[in-house]
Chain A
Amino acid sequence: MFISNTKKQQDEMLKEIGVSSFEELIKKIPAKYLNSDFNISEKPLTEVEAHRKFSELSAKNQKVLNFVGAGAYERYTPSAVKHIAERGEFLTAYTPYQAEASQGLLQTIYEYQSQICALFDMEVSNASVYDGASALGEAVRACARITSKKKILYPKSLNPQYLTTLKTYFGNSSEYTFEAIEHSGGKIDIASLKNKLDENTACVIAQSPNFFGTLEDMREISDLAHEKGALFTAVTDPMSLALVNPPGSYNADFAVAEGQSLGLPLNYGGPYLGIFTCKKAHIRQMPGRLVSMTTDTEGKRGFVLTLQAREQHIRRDKAASNICSNEALCALMATIYMTLLGPEGMKEAAEANAFNTRYALKELLAIDGITLKFDNPFFNEFVVDFPNHPCELRKKIIKEDGIDIGLPLKKLYPDMENSLLVCATETKTKEDIDKLTAALRRNL
């Protein structure tokens, strides 16, 4: 499949090479390894068969009216985003190492960096890492390198997926200690933070909106961290930043986020977009690629990859990170998304999230037996308590109504046995939310 040369051409080429058969080219490979037997389909699918097969496979995923967020948000991807990102010129290019032949691609990365810096109010953004969780892993590793300290404080309200990934990023090494900051009422408990924070702390992590949807007072946490000489790493949601104060405004050293929120499809968890930003002072400790504007020999504007000597292909065992492939195409989608929305559109999208979620909360609280778990400022997600563990309810309503009511928190937080995390993004209408509340009402 997809091989261009005919059998006749292959033979001509072998002749040109000076061998009588293909086997001569690999004759030095021990014969016993060749022609290993293996068991896969004998009959490759044709394109039409493959199309059919995947239509059927995708239909096996049940379509639901979805109210689960918890770090991955159902977004509308504007058509223009899809169409441009699917252009072969972007889709099938490699990393732009040959700058002169990659000006368009390099410029889109420059625009990505610029827009992310604008949205985050940060000085530096790289060209992306794998996802929000790995971005946090890389940022905290950078904090440990910069401070030469080994203690890391994270909040219990941090997305649990991020926490496990973070620990893995440190190689599960006992050299580093990870201590949890308690939450009280769904917010970082400042007393707990003060209690654990000391001169040996490399990094304080805080997330806003946090896993429960709460907007934290990041300024206060950031100031406390800095007072003790620790660095402050913020985890955020880019969509929320059209409304709430950006990491630069509260003096974050590093700010990372899951960029899926910028119009990318859910894709069952990936590919997503690891947004990684930092202060200029930390630029040399930043992993990943970076594009700079420059000029050509005739003084014309151009773009190049820069500060490459930090990276693995040059620095090898002294590199800031091993990252090579990133999520360039996802970053391109986010770039087009932010360009299409502009400052007003971003604000509208964020407000649509906020108001949909507020409407959902209002309607849910009108149902007997549902109560608000945490009464905090929030963006597009909240936690409510049910009279019982909502897991069976979730199953039932998916089955009967095709509605996924939200994420039960018991598995992640055993003390929140009856809690449900609910999110209503801009993809939902008033009618959708009314369907959710009707289904819940019927079942409670």
Chain B
Amino acid sequence: MPKQDEIKYTKTHEWIFVEGENATIGISEHAQGEMGDVVFVELPKMDQKLEKEKPCAVVESVKSAFDIYAAASGDVTAINDKLDGDPALINTSSLEDGWMYKIKLSNPDELKDLMDFTAYQEFIKQSA
């Protein structure tokens, strides 16, 4: 599990964990709580080119559907197949088993705009 201080957050509540030129993305603990019981996850396709802040996945609860925006630009290198059979992983383990997809970053400079954990907590408080 990545440590809290290694993770960055977007304003649309995705987290991103960067290791070199690769990154793993999921949705934040706060966001999964707001969504309620996740019943379905639609992931990006392998090799899909993602553009930062463009919708790239969907998370569904019983009565809602949430767009998930690309946390950074890059090519999809892995997707979490387990979510297909067990979407509840988003609820039970948002930062670990509930990861959504991995990308090879195409523009690491973009990461500068993202928030660290403290800033993200502050952001949540302010938007409430």
A is bound by B: yes
| Residues on A facing B (Cβ under 8 Å) | 284, 307-309, 314-315, 318
How far is A308 from B39 in the complex, measured between Cα atoms in Å?
11
B127 within 8 A of A: no
In chain B between 27 and 49, which residues have their CB closer than 8 angstroms to a CB of chain A? 39-40, 42
With a CB–CB cut-off of 8 A, which chain B residues contact A308?
Answer: 62-63
B119 within 8 A of A: no
B77 within 8 A of A: no
With a CB–CB cut-off of 8 A, which chain B residues contact A309?
Answer: 39-40, 60-65
| Residues on B facing A (Cβ under 8 Å) | 39-40, 42, 58, 60-65, 67
How far is A305 from B34 in the complex, measured between Cα atoms in Å?
22
With a CB–CB cut-off of 8 A, which chain B residues contact A284?
Answer: 40, 42
Closest Cβ of chain B: how far from A236's Cβ, in Å? 30
Question: Are A318 and B65 in contact, CB atoms less than 8 angstroms apart?
Answer: yes
How far is A308 from B67 in the complex, measured between Cα atoms in Å?
16
Q: Which of B40, B58, B65 has its CB near the most chain A CB atoms (within 10 A)?
A: B65
Question: Are B40 and A314 in contact, CB atoms less than 8 angstroms apart?
Answer: no
How far is A307 from B63 in the complex, measured between Cα atoms in Å?
9
How far is A92 from B42 in the complex, measured between Cα atoms in Å?
37
Closest Cβ of chain B: how far from A293's Cβ, in Å? 16
How far is A335 from B39 in the complex, measured between Cα atoms in Å?
29
Give me 9 other A-B pairs in contact (C-beta within 8 A), A309-B64, A318-B67 excluded. Answer: A284-B40, A308-B62, A309-B40, A309-B61, A309-B62, A309-B63, A314-B63, A314-B65, A318-B65
Q: Which residue of A lies closest to B67 (CB)?
A: A318
Question: Are A315 and B40 in contact, CB atoms less than 8 angstroms apart?
Answer: no
Question: Are A315 and B65 in contact, CB atoms less than 8 angstroms apart?
Answer: yes
How far is A309 from B39 in the complex, measured between Cα atoms in Å?
10
How far is A307 from B58 in the complex, measured between Cα atoms in Å?
14
Q: Which of A308, A309, A314, A318 has its CB near the most chain B CB atoms (within 10 A)?
A: A309
Question: Are A314 and B64 in contact, CB atoms less than 8 angstroms apart?
Answer: yes
How far is A307 from B42 in the complex, measured between Cα atoms in Å?
13
Closest Cβ of chain A: how far from B102's Cβ, in Å? 23
Closest Cβ of chain B: how far from A105's Cβ, in Å? 19
With a CB–CB cut-off of 8 A, which chain B residues contact A318?
Answer: 58, 65, 67
How far is A397 from B54 in the complex, measured between Cα atoms in Å?
66
How far is A315 from B59 in the complex, measured between Cα atoms in Å?
11
How far is A308 from B61 in the complex, measured between Cα atoms in Å?
9
20 contacts between A and B (CB under 8 A): A284-B40, A284-B42, A307-B40, A308-B62, A308-B63, A309-B39, A309-B40, A309-B60, A309-B61, A309-B62, A309-B63, A309-B64, A309-B65, A314-B63, A314-B64, A314-B65, A315-B65, A318-B58, A318-B65, A318-B67
How far is A309 from B60 in the complex, measured between Cα atoms in Å?
6
With a CB–CB cut-off of 8 A, which chain A residues contact B64?
Answer: 309, 314
With a CB–CB cut-off of 8 A, which chain A residues contact B67?
Answer: 318
Q: Which residue of A lies closest to B39 (CB)?
A: A309
With a CB–CB cut-off of 8 A, which chain A residues contact B61?
Answer: 309
How far is A309 from B65 in the complex, measured between Cα atoms in Å?
6
How far is A315 from B64 in the complex, measured between Cα atoms in Å?
8
With a CB–CB cut-off of 8 A, which chain B residues contact A314?
Answer: 63-65
